[in-house]
Structure 1
Amino acid sequence: MFDTGLIIHQQWLNKIFFEGKTLEMRSRATSRRGRVGLIEGGSGLIMGAATLAGTSGPLGRDEMLALTSRHMIPVDDIVQGKVDKWKYGWELENAVKFRNPVPYTHPHGAVIWVKLPPPVQEAVRKEYFF
């Protein structure tokens, strides 16, 4: 089980759940590893979970282009430098989408990570181990 959620925009979550996206691009590396909740940014909902297995980077444009099938950022955005700040790929494995998203109260100031309180962890456990 897990006690932390990672905030991701809806368009990227959909790619993780339905299109096989396995690299979540970020501006810095993370030392966190293990199972995490996947939170849809701005929704107040934990949509699923994945294993954060590692971090790749910093990646240059050539490496970003070579990994397009894993991060799914449009080639034009890479070539034009629109995503140059996203140099680190957070490697996701075994992503699952919950049948029923689990609500949580978003803490003020949380931008990347959300610490999930015990009642939310229990609700996730019930949904995750349906």
Structure 2
Amino acid sequence: MNALIIKSPWIDRIFEGKKTWEIRGSNTKNRGKIALIKSGSGMVYGEVDLIDSKELNLTEYQESRRFHGVESEAASVLPYKRTYAWVLDNPKIYKQPVPYKHPMGAVIWVRLPE
């Protein structure tokens, strides 16, 4: 299973159902169930369904705050040259986080053993 590395507080908002778009500077072709890793923790905290990836223009980014949670002051410009919303659904937090071995160089994705 692929695991996406996400910083706090964003990962917490995903599990609370308050954030359904993860904003990234690249597109992804990954779809389906993915695990979520809290950045710097060495732990997998849960999983979500990655159902879409779509490029956003500035207007779309500004009008979609309810999906990505970025405050309006910070939404005056796009965060990346090309900005994408990775659409997430069905978050499930694990009762106990699961440790994993972080591979050298992994910044966005980690391939977890089955």
TM-score, length-scaled by structure 2: 0.94
Cα distance in 1, alignment partners of residues 44 and 67 from structure 2: 22
1:89 and 2:85 matched: yes
Partner SS for 1:63: helix
Return the offset for 1:20. 2.1
Q: Do the aligned residues in 1 keep the contact of 2:17 with 2:91 (CA within 8 Å)?
A: no
For residue 63 of structure 1, the aligned residue among 35, 60, 64 is: 60
Letter of the 1:109 partner, please give it: G
Q: Give the equivalent residue in structure 2 for 1:27.
A: 25
Query: Structure 1: which 5+ residue stretches go unaligned?
Result: 119-130
Q: Give the equivalent residue in structure 2 for 1:75.
A: 72
What is the aligned residue count? 114
Return the offset for 1:45. 0.4
TM-score, length-scaled by structure 1: 0.83
Cα distance in 1, alignment partners of residues 46 and 82 from structure 2: 23
Deviations 1:57-109 (A, max 9, x none): 1x122111111000001110111x27244610000000111110000010000
Cα distance in 2, alignment partners of residues 108 and 49 from structure 1: 22
Q: Do the aligned residues in 1 keep the contact of 2:53 with 2:86 (CA within 8 Å)?
A: yes
Q: Give the equivalent residue in structure 1 for 2:35.
A: 37
Partner SS for 1:102: strand
Cα distance in 1, alignment partners of residues 44 and 92 from structure 2: 11
Q: Give the equivalent residue in structure 2 for 1:116.
A: 112
Cα distance in 1, alignment partners of residues 112 and 36 from structure 2: 12
Partner SS for 1:20: coil
Q: Do the aligned residues in 2 keep the contact of 1:53 with 1:92 (CA within 8 Å)?
A: yes
Q: Which has a greater percent of helix?
A: 1
Q: Do the aligned residues in 1 keep the contact of 2:24 with 2:80 (CA within 8 Å)?
A: no
Larger radius of gyration: 1
Letter of the 1:112 partner, please give it: I
Query: Structure 2: which 5+ residue stretches go unaligned?
Result: none
% identical equivalent positions: 37
